[in-house]
Every structure is written in C-alpha cells, then in structure tokens.
Structure 1
Amino acid sequence: MKYQRALTVVLIVAIAALLVFVSNRYSWDADWTHANRNSLTDASKRVLDAMPEPIEFTAFEYPGPEREGIRTRIDRYRRYRDNVALTFVDPTANPQKMRELGVRRAGEVRVSYEGRSRTLDDLSEQTVTNALQQLSAAGEQWVVFLTGHGERTPADEEQGGYSALAKELDSQGLKTRTLNLAETPRIPDNTAVLVIASPQRGLLPGEVEMVREYVAGGGNLLWADDPGKRYGLSPLAGDLGLRWRDGTVIYPDYRELGLKHPAIALVIGYPEHPITKRLDSLSLFPFAGGLAAAENGDSAGGGWQAKPLVRTPSRSWLETGTLDAEQVTYDEDSEDAVGPVTIGMAATRERPAGDEANGTDTGKPSQQRAVVMADSDFLANGYINTAGNLDLGLSIFQWLANRDEQIAVRVPPAPDSSLQLAPWQGRAIWYLFVVILPLALLAVGVGRWWLRRRR
C-alpha cells in the first residue's frame, strides 16, 4: 500500500513535469469568440503572405495594463508570422524618438516594413491590415482620374461622385489624383491606372490622342462609361478590340428583389477571372450598357485578349426603347437583344516594347491590363456600398495595378462592434428599465410589507 501511494505521487509529479515541458515547447490557441474576432481573417493572412520580409511594430505606451491591450491585438499577426516583432517604448524615456518618428502621443503604434512606416492610433484589424497594404508596395502607385469633361471625380462627395471609392483606394495604398489634359498635356509616368469615368462632354482630338498613346505605350486603363455617346473615345474601344452595344440592361425580376427600377441590373455570379475568383456577393449595376468583342477579332485590338468580367443573367436583355418602368418590355421585332449581357470586360496583352527596346528596363510588369465597364454608377457614392460593389471595384483596381496578391483583400468591419436599434426598440428598453422594473420592484416591496403587517 505504501509503495502504491509513493508510485502514485511519483506519477503525478512526472505527469506535471511533462505537461510543463510540453507547454513550454509547444502552444495551441483556440478562438471561441463570435466570428473569431481574435483571429486574423483570410484577407489579412493574404496581405501577410505577400510581405515576406520582417514587419516591426513599435508601440509608444507607458508601462501598465494598456500595453497588454496593444499586445493582444498585435499578437494576432505574430501568431500567423514568426517575423512580426512588437517593441514597447516608454514615451517619457524616449521623447526624442517620438518626435523623430512623428508620433504625437502615447498609445500610438508605428509599423515598419522595408524602410517604409505608418503611424496607427487605431489597432482594429481593418486599420492595421490597410496600413500593411500601403507598406507592401514600394513607391507610390497613382490612380489618375481624367477630368475636364464632366467625368466622375474622387473629390466629388455627392451621390454620383467617387469620393468613397477614393478613400478606399487610399487605404489600400493606391493614391488618387486628377488630371486635366488641357492644363497638363501629359499623363504622368508613375500612373499605375488611368481612369476614364463617364465623360459628359466631348474630348478634344489631342486629348483623345494622348489617351490612345498612353494605352499604346503600355499603360493600364479603367474605362467606366454609360449607354449613350462616347464623346470622341470610340477609337479607344477599337484599340482595345471591343465595341459598345446599343441599349440599356433590363432586369425583369426587379420588383421581387425590392429594386426600384428594371434598369438596375443584378449580377449574381461572375465568369472565371483573377478579379472575381474570391468574390461571392452579388452586385448592382444601375442603367448599364453592354459590351462585346470587336467583330474582326484580336487584330482590331492590337493583340489584346479580352474576357467577360461581369455578365447579367440570361433572363435580362438590352432595351433600345423606352425605359419607363411600367411600359418596358422585351420586343422581338425591335433591336432589343436577349441576355445574358456582358457589362464588363477585362483585356490583357504583352506590354509593347518601349524603353526596353532601347536597352532601358522600365521595371513595369510584362503584362498590360485594361478593364472596360459599361456602367459607371456601380462605383459611385450612392451605390458603392451596396451588396458586393465595393469588393468588385477594389479587386478591379488591384488587378489593374498588378497587385495580384492583394485582390479581394478587404477586411470588413467587425460585425458586432455596434448595436443598431429601431426607434421602437429603444423606447421599449427605456420603459422596461426606467418604468416597468422600478414599479415592479416597488410593488414587490409594498406587497411584502403588507403581508408582514397582516401577520
């Protein structure tokens, strides 16, 4: 009996020692929070996968419990990658370093990658991952919007403007600029993507020629336009091997889905393409047109290979007549064209020889890219946050900027960071806690007092 007890004690001590040894050598983490709030999303992981070099976080915080909060948020990145480091700096001990790095107050975190840095005062995953995206690319990549002809612009905050899109592009490291070719008759050399967004007035012949020369020289292009006139840009479509179709896309089941007009096209699925391979949300395209490959094939496009990017369901059609919601119907005897209708096309070709032919390496990727969309509203402020429009738009820009690893990388806001209540729900809660519960407690107290008095 004595030996059995001794053996039991020895076994317990041995198991405890083994557990201590294993716990020091190996670790296992489990995230049981709602929607895995304490773990990185797949989007953040793809950003880290595209950044193989060490990433350093420097937190300027006083010793105390606040440091633990910072450590918890950054540890999500450190658990996924071994070369992510976190260093704490006491602001009172290193005020000079704070001034040198542009850190304004305690609690801010400086993230650095390959000599480039950003200062963060918010450590949500969305903010940190966006900062890492900005640091992942060396040098600024400019998204240049053509202006001067009534186009949609990144500075316009109205419903039809592109200010919300510009803010999202900037968060992902793509800087937006505007260009009026009448004032500055040259497209900058560091233009990653030139954007032509629905001009409303005719371009001058010289402006059209500069755009065509930019494309002929290997520049990437997003051309988002609406049904109607091309305002001098028709030759550009021929350069890309594309043609615009007549009519506006009609979606007949709009009432069942709660849409306000049949000319708001709904896209449920996407053709196979790097831009859309990770997208699973439907998109809305108000008053969109149609696109097709040029009738005489690739020769018209100078070697461009175009593929459908966005296509409507087969029950939709291109309406060439009235767009009155109560009267629009498909007419077989008219020029209406039955769906599916291609709204967007993505084209690629080998980048034309330019400075390389003279023995100079431009450093640009060998593939030239262009996207043409027969709708400009889907990226406007009034629609960009509807369904999957934002994800599609950002994926288009990332692909055009040759940032393939960043395609469809957008960390959504935390789903439960705020509580939205209807007005009646707020009033119900107020009455429950301010009126009903106090009166109920008072009634219970009075009742108990009355029962005791009767005894």
Structure 2
Amino acid sequence: MKRRLNFVKFLILPGFMLILAGISAGIVSGTWGSIPLGLIIAGIVVIGLWMLLIGQFDDPLEPSFWRRRSTQASTNALVSTIAVLAILGLINFLAVRSVQRFDLTESGLFTLSPESQQVLREMQQGVKLWIFTNDQNPQDRALLENYQRITPKFSFEYLDPNSNPGVAQAFGIKNAGETRDVFIELQSSKRRQFLQSISPEIRLSENRITNGILQITSDRRSKAYFVQGHGEKSLTAGDNSISESVKALEDKNFINEPLNLAQLGSVPEDASIVLVIGSTRPLAEGETKALEAYANRGGNLLIASDPNTKSGLDQFLNSWGVKLDDRVAINAPNQRLSNAGPAVAIVTQYGNHPITAPFGKGISFYPVARPIDITPIPGVQATPLLLTDPNSWAESNLKEQPLKLDGGDRPGPLALAVALERTVNATASPSPTASPSPTASPSPSPSPTVSPSPVPSPTASTPAKPSRMVVFGNSTFMVNGFFAQQLNADVFLNSVNWLTPDQQQPLSIRPKDVKNRRIALSGEQALLLGFLALAIVPLFGFITAGALWWQRR
C-alpha cells in the first residue's frame, strides 16, 4: 500500500512535465498543432488522475491528504499565485487593447502637437506614408507610431526600393547617396505626392507630415495654367517636353491645364498660377495685356525665356524692373561639367530667398541660359535667385572659338533668375511708378536682395494683396532629362510653391526644444560625489546593519 501511495504522490510531476513540454513545443514551432495540444491534454489528464487517487491510499489513522494543514497551505499558495498571474494577464490584455501613454518630459518631446492631433482626428480618408529605405530609424518610427495611435486611418510602411523595384518605379523615387525619399498616398484615390527626403542628418519632420496630410486630403486643389500657342514647351511626353515637371505639379495637388489667351482674352479667375515656359514666338499685345491685368489683380506668374527668342513680354517685364539679356552665360573653365559644354551654366550660389533657402551649396545647371538685368523699381521687391561663378561671363558670339571674355561680353557673376513681389490693390489695376529704359543693361548686383522703395499703403476700401513673379533666363532645365538632375526639380517646385502661398496655408508647428538640465561639476566635485556614492553611503549601511545585529544579539 505504501508503495502505491508513493507512486501516486509523484504522479503530479510527469503531468507538469507533459504540460511544459507541450507549451515549449508550441512556442518553438510557432504552431499549436496536434503534438503540442496532445502533450498539454495528456499532462492535464495525468494531474487529474493524481487529484483523484492521492487520497485513496492514505492511512486511516492519519488525516487524509486533502485535510492536512500542509496541503491546504500549499493549495492556498497555488491558488493565490494563479490568481495573481491571471490578474496581471488581464491587466496586460486591457493595456494592449487600450494604450495609455504618459509623456513626462518637460516639453512633451514624445507627444504630437495639438495641431497635429486635431488634423488626425478630423481626417475623413485613409492616408499612408511610404518610406523608401530598409533602415528603420527608431526616432522616425516612434514619430510615425504616435500618428498611428491617434487614428487608425494613418498607416506607414518601410520599403526597400532595391527589393521592390516595381513599386519604386511607380512612385518615381530619386534616392541618391544617403538621401531616401518619403511619399504620402491618399488611400481612396491612390493619389501620391512627394513629402520629403531623409538622411542620417535629416529625419522625418512632424511639420512636414502634418502639412502633407492636410494638403493631400484637401478637396481644394490649386490650378496651374500653362500658356500655349507660341512654341512653348509641350505638356505631354515627347521631344522638348516638360511632362515630368507637369507630373511633379500633379503630385503636389495641382490641376494643370493649357491656356490659350488668344481665344479666352483673359486669365481665368480660378488660376492659382500662370506659367509661360520657353515661348519661341512673341505673345500678341492683347495676350500681354491679359497677363498684366492678371498680375494687377494679385496673380502669380512664372516666366522662363531662352536666349535669342522674343517672348513679347519685354515691356511688361521692364515695368517690374527686369530685362532679359540675349547673351549666353558661359562657365569658367574650372567650373564646367565633364560631359557638358561651356554653355551649360553651373550654379552653386543662391540668393537669400525662401525658394533657395534649403539649397546650401548644391548644384543646379541651366543649358544655354541668358542673364537677367535687375533695376530697382519703387514698390517692387526683387531678389536674384541663381548666381553664376564670378569667373563666368555672358558671351555675345558663340561662333568664336575658343570662347573667351572679350569685347561685347559681360563679366560675371550673372543672375539667371529673379523672384519679384509687389503689393497691389485687388480691385484696382495699378502700375509701377517708373520703368527702366529698354536699352539699359546694368550689371546685376551680386548682393542677394535689391531693396525696394517704400510702398504707399492702400486705402481701406481696396484690400491689398501680393502679386508675385519668378523669371528664369532658361527653360531647358525643366525639360525631361534635365528636370530630375541635381537641384533642378527643387528650383522649379520651390518657385511654384512660393508663387502660390494662399492655396494651402501650412500649419506652423514649433519644434520641441530639449532643455539642458545637466549639472556642470568640476573634477573635485565629481570625485567627491563618486566617493560618497561608492564608499561612504555603503559603509554607513553596513555599520548600521552591524549595530542592529549586535543590539539584538
């Protein structure tokens, strides 16, 4: 009888071992098939048999197994342990289902701004962020997860462009060097637009993400009109086409349409911007008047004119203080590209302007470009955008070989583009008070800004608004094949963004400031603090413990 009792007593051990083996097999294999479940069930059966048999072979003169004090204490301990584990599991389950995070940093470093949270809560359509890199930066991922916690309508995905070339080609990514492209996509229409580039030095920006969400979910789209009918660059794919530039504007939420001013007679009221890109024949006087009237009511223009072409806009541009030079910008010998001729103007110097502020010393280039002369006009603020090297020059005779700076040429630096702004009365049609002589050819100042004269304030009955214009002495940099090279696309897109400031007012989200709360210690202070922490405090604890032990003894 005793032998049977001893056998039954230890029957619980193989039961627990079977259950443990089943759980281990399920975790390791990743599937809870017949073997793991069979082991667990067998273990439960063995433990059940133990519970039934453990009291059957007890000595009748002694308390039964279940009535022993030791059994009851052990059972209470086991039930308490299981209850605690169940409570902890339930708490973790509820925590996973309803996440609550507490940002205890002083400036809320790990919390989205109230503006971003409001935008996310008001989202009606799903938005997805595509990050074309296989390097998941922890800081970027934490920011994206913060967006995802606010609303399930926001999602993101990291994608390796080398492993998914088809998707990368569909987005038209331009990963170069250490920079990686980030796109935002509207899930309902699959409309996509470029958001920003990231690199080890430049991380994802809450400001850009939130404003990108606002822009792509907005029902209001800016409308860009391209003047046609005078030999301008084609908007559809083909030779000498700017279809890549047009597509880039579509990605920026623009609606692009051709504009025949000879037929309409005026610029449509819904125009956000009008572009005249590379016209080879002059616009008629009525068409020029239509553009002038559009500018006078606060319209925005982008004009790109190549050398040895007549746009018909000379008088209109002169009223803004701009004159196009017919000479061709030539690079200094040490500034030329190895695979391009001297007439491909290289620009690494940019004016102090929002359009060019992010460029630094980056490269953009302009094949066969003409310089621009800038004359100060009262009420017009003019800022040269693209400045050639001081050793460059404007060549008047390209047939001369070798090309060199001589009579009839003009030394650099040369301005190849200018940004202009003036305040107009929306209900009036003002014109500048002075106009430069069309024959004057002053050299452009290397200073990045031409200071305007004071502008008289408009009357209360005629609300004032800015009219903006960007003039380029080249249109080829926008043509397919050149557009995606270096900073050329950024020059064009930044110019359009600056020219359409009222179409999508961006939120201004201030970056989180990390306050320096470190304590500056001298060498002696640091040594003393270390001695206290590692020697004095532990020694005091040992002495106190020893004194208490001795007193109780």
Q: Same fold (TM over 0.5)?
A: yes
1:183 equivalent to 2:263? Answer yes
Normalised TM-score (structure 1): 0.61
Greater relative CO (CA pairs within 8 A, separation 6+): 1
Percent same amino acid among aligned pairs? 24
Q: 2:419 is matched with which residue: 312, 324, 346?
A: 346
Q: 1:79 is matched with which residue: 129, 136, 146?
A: 146
Shift of 1:124: 9.8
1:312 equivalent to 2:388? Answer yes
Distance 1:52 1:367, change over 3 A: farther
Distance 1:59 1:216, change over 3 A: closer
Q: 1:329 is matched with which residue: 377, 385, 404?
A: 404
1:146-185 aligned at under 5 Å gives the runs 146-155=227-236, 157-185=237-265
Does the CA-based 8 Å contact 2:273-2:499 persist in structure 1? yes
Shift of 1:163: 0.5
Matched with 1:135 is 216
Return the alpha-carbon distance in structure 2 between the equivalents of residues 405 and 86 of structure 1.
Answer: 23
Distance 1:359 1:51, change over 3 A: farther
SS in 2 for 1:349: strand
Shift of 1:198: 1.9
Return the alpha-carbon distance in structure 1 between the equivalents of residues 486 and 414 of structure 2.
Answer: 20
Shift of 1:357: 7.9
Opposite residue 190 of structure 2, the aligned amino acid is L
Does the CA-based 8 Å contact 1:187-1:214 persist in structure 2? yes
Does the CA-based 8 Å contact 2:336-2:342 persist in structure 1? no
* Post-superposition CA distance 1:89-130 (Å, at most 9, x none): xxxxxxxxxxxxxxxxxxxxx987xxxx84238899789979
1:243 equivalent to 2:319? Answer no
Return the alpha-carbon distance in structure 2 between the equivalents of residues 48 and 159 of structure 1.
Answer: 44
Distance 1:136 1:208, change over 3 A: same
Shift of 1:199: 1.3
Shift of 1:146: 0.6
Structure 1 residues without counterparts, runs of 5 or longer: 1-12, 29-44, 61-72, 89-109, 408-455
1:370 equivalent to 2:472? Answer no
SS in 2 for 1:135: helix
Does the CA-based 8 Å contact 2:323-2:374 persist in structure 1? yes
Q: 1:384 is matched with which residue: 468, 483, 499?
A: 483
Q: 1:399 is matched with which residue: 498, 502, 508?
A: 498
Does the CA-based 8 Å contact 2:193-2:252 persist in structure 1? no
Matched with 2:437 is none
1:177-216 aligned at under 5 Å gives the runs 177-216=257-296
Does the CA-based 8 Å contact 1:344-1:372 persist in structure 2? yes
Return the alpha-carbon distance in structure 1 between the equivalents of residues 312 and 323 of structure 2.
Answer: 14
Matched with 2:332 is 252
Distance 1:262 1:285, change over 3 A: same
Return the alpha-carbon distance in structure 2 between the equivalents of residues 406 and 211 of structure 1.
Answer: 28
Return the alpha-carbon distance in structure 2 between the equivalents of residues 369 and 50 of structure 1.
Answer: 32
Does the CA-based 8 Å contact 1:56-1:84 persist in structure 2? no
Matched with 2:122 is 54
What CA RMSD, in Å, does the superposition of the two structures yield over aligned residues? 4.4
Return the alpha-carbon distance in structure 2 between the equivalents of residues 49 and 288 of structure 1.
Answer: 47
Does the CA-based 8 Å contact 2:421-2:466 persist in structure 1? yes
SS in 2 for 1:351: strand
Return the alpha-carbon distance in structure 1 between the equivalents of residues 326 and 194 of structure 2.
Answer: 47
Shift of 1:399: 0.6
Return the alpha-carbon distance in structure 2 between the equivalents of residues 287 and 57 of structure 1.
Answer: 46
Return the alpha-carbon distance in structure 1 between the equivalents of residues 120 and 309 of structure 2.
Answer: 47
Shift of 1:232: 1.9
* Post-superposition CA distance 1:363-408 (Å, at most 9, x none): xx8322110111111111121011110111110111101168779x
Q: Structure 1 stretch 386-395 or stretch 134-143: which is displaced more?
A: 134-143
Opposite residue 486 of structure 2, the aligned amino acid is A
Does the CA-based 8 Å contact 1:254-1:261 persist in structure 2? no
SS in 2 for 1:354: coil
SS in 2 for 1:366: strand
Q: 1:225 is matched with which residue: 276, 281, 305?
A: 305
Return the alpha-carbon distance in structure 2 between the equivalents of residues 191 and 359 of structure 1.
Answer: 24
SS in 2 for 1:393: helix
Return the alpha-carbon distance in structure 2 between the equivalents of residues 284 and 243 of structure 1.
Answer: 21
1:263-342 aligned at under 5 Å gives the runs 263-280=343-360, 281-294=362-375, 297-299=376-378, 303-322=379-398, 326-331=401-406, 334-342=407-415
Q: 1:145 is matched with which residue: 209, 219, 226?
A: 226
Distance 1:265 1:349, change over 3 A: same
Normalised TM-score (structure 2): 0.51
Return the alpha-carbon distance in structure 1 between the equivalents of residues 461 and 290 of structure 2.
Answer: 24
Distance 1:180 1:389, change over 3 A: same
Shift of 1:131: 7.3
Does the CA-based 8 Å contact 2:355-2:494 persist in structure 1? yes
Q: Structure 1 stretch 140-149 or stretch 204-213: which is displaced more?
A: 204-213
Does the CA-based 8 Å contact 2:125-2:188 persist in structure 1? no
Larger radius of gyration between Structure 1 and Structure 2: 2
SS in 1 for 2:257: strand
Opposite residue 354 of structure 2, the aligned amino acid is P
Q: 2:341 is matched with which residue: 261, 272, 282?
A: 261
Matched with 2:189 is 119
Does the CA-based 8 Å contact 2:297-2:467 persist in structure 1? no
Return the alpha-carbon distance in structure 2 between the equivalents of residues 379 and 121 of structure 1.
Answer: 23
Return the alpha-carbon distance in structure 2 between the equivalents of residues 279 and 286 of structure 1.
Answer: 19
SS in 2 for 1:194: strand
Shift of 1:337: 1.1
Distance 1:340 1:56, change over 3 A: same
Shift of 1:85: 3.7
Return the alpha-carbon distance in structure 1 between the equivalents of residues 421 and 149 of structure 2.
Answer: 37
Distance 1:58 1:176, change over 3 A: closer
Opposite residue 327 of structure 1, the aligned amino acid is P
Does the CA-based 8 Å contact 2:317-2:323 persist in structure 1? yes
